[in-house]
A and B are shown apart, each in its own frame.
Chain A
């Protein structure tokens, strides 16, 4: 069974640009969550989608947004990139309706110069 797939794995952007990250959940999983991981803050919850609806959102500015498609695939977007947005962005999917037990992808490593 294929795991959570994230693309791209690595990317470099400059300040002010925007970036879109993609996530394909495990087949049959309808809940998709996004996390930001940095050395200083650890793993921080961004948002969660289920059936194309955002059900939960973390404490991040509006520059961070996401969406989910009818096939459960998800994308997240960060606009007007800042140096502090450099991080590992992790996508996770869950088979449980409340989205509690998460299975993570390998992540997208974003570097902002």
Chain B
């Protein structure tokens, strides 16, 4: 099925560094969401974006809804070891009725 192009696929960084990841799509979305998933757990919603151009922060996390509505990025500032996990972007159409299109995920490893 349709998927979002999420990059990078993996990142290895030192504690304290900033991280940036992004998603692009050939389709327009009305909502962009960012999730984090730890091993053996379900995805946890980090940030939800509803408007083109919107920039939203949640603590050390900042995400933006691209102006074209076909892309979004997530930044994590001053990374800490507990940031380790898989980060997913997801897009929803106008009337999604539960259907999100997910990116392939970015595996983040933080070295202390």
Give the shortest distance, in Å, between A60 (CB) and chain B (any CB).
10
Q: Which residues of B contact A90 (CB under 8 A)?
A: 42-43
Chain A: CB-nearest residue to B103: A42
- Grouping DSSP codes into helix (H, G, I), strand (E, B) and loop, the B interface class, with mixed when no group exceeds half, is loop
The 0/1 profile, CB within 8 Å of B marked 1, for residues 63-105 of chain A is 0000000000000000000000000001010100011111111
Residues of the A chain whose Cβ atoms lie less than 8 Å from the Cβ of B43: 43, 90, 104
Q: Which of B41, B45, B95 touches A103 (beta carbons < 8 Å)?
A: B45
B98: which of A6, A33, A106, A107 is its contact (CB, 8 Å)? A33
User: At the interface, yes or no: B73 with Cβ under 8 Å from chain A?
Assistant: no
Q: Would you give the 0/1 interface string for B21-63, flagging 1 where the beta carbon is closer than 8 Å to chain A?
A: 0000000001101010000111111001000000000000000
Please name all residues of chain B whose beta carbon is closer than 8 Å to the beta carbon of A32 when the two chains form the complex. 98
The smallest C-beta distance from B110 to any residue of chain A, in angstroms, reads: 22
For B35, what are the chain A residues with a Cβ–Cβ distance below 8 Å?
Answer: 104
Beta-carbon contact of B104 and A101 below 8 Å: no
Name the B residues within 8 Å of A44 (CB-CB).
1
CB of A106 within 8 A of CB of B3, answer no
Number of interface residues, chain A, beta carbon within 8 A: 30
Task: Tell me whether A102 and B33 are in contact in the complex, defined as CB-CB below 8 angstroms, given that A45-B98, A90-B43 are known contacts.
Answer: yes
Query: Which chain A positions have C-beta within 8 A of B41?
Result: 106-107
Chain B residue total in the interface (Cβ 8 A): 27
On whether the beta carbons of A102 and B45 are closer than 8 Å, the reply is yes
Whether B95 contacts A98 by the Cβ 8 Å rule is yes
Whether A43 touches B97, Cβ cut-off 8 Å, given contacts A59-B1, A102-B45, A104-B43, is: no
Chain A residues close to B by CB (< 8 Å): 4, 6, 31-33, 42-45, 47-48, 50, 55-56, 58-59, 90, 92, 94, 98-107, 109
What are 16 of the A-B contact pairs (CB < 8 Å)? A6-B42, A31-B98, A32-B98, A33-B99, A42-B105, A44-B1, A45-B1, A45-B99, A92-B42, A94-B98, A99-B99, A101-B48, A102-B90, A102-B98, A107-B40, A107-B41
* Interface residues, chain B, with chain A CB atoms under 8 Å away: 1, 3, 30-31, 33, 35, 40-45, 48, 88, 90, 92, 94-100, 102-105
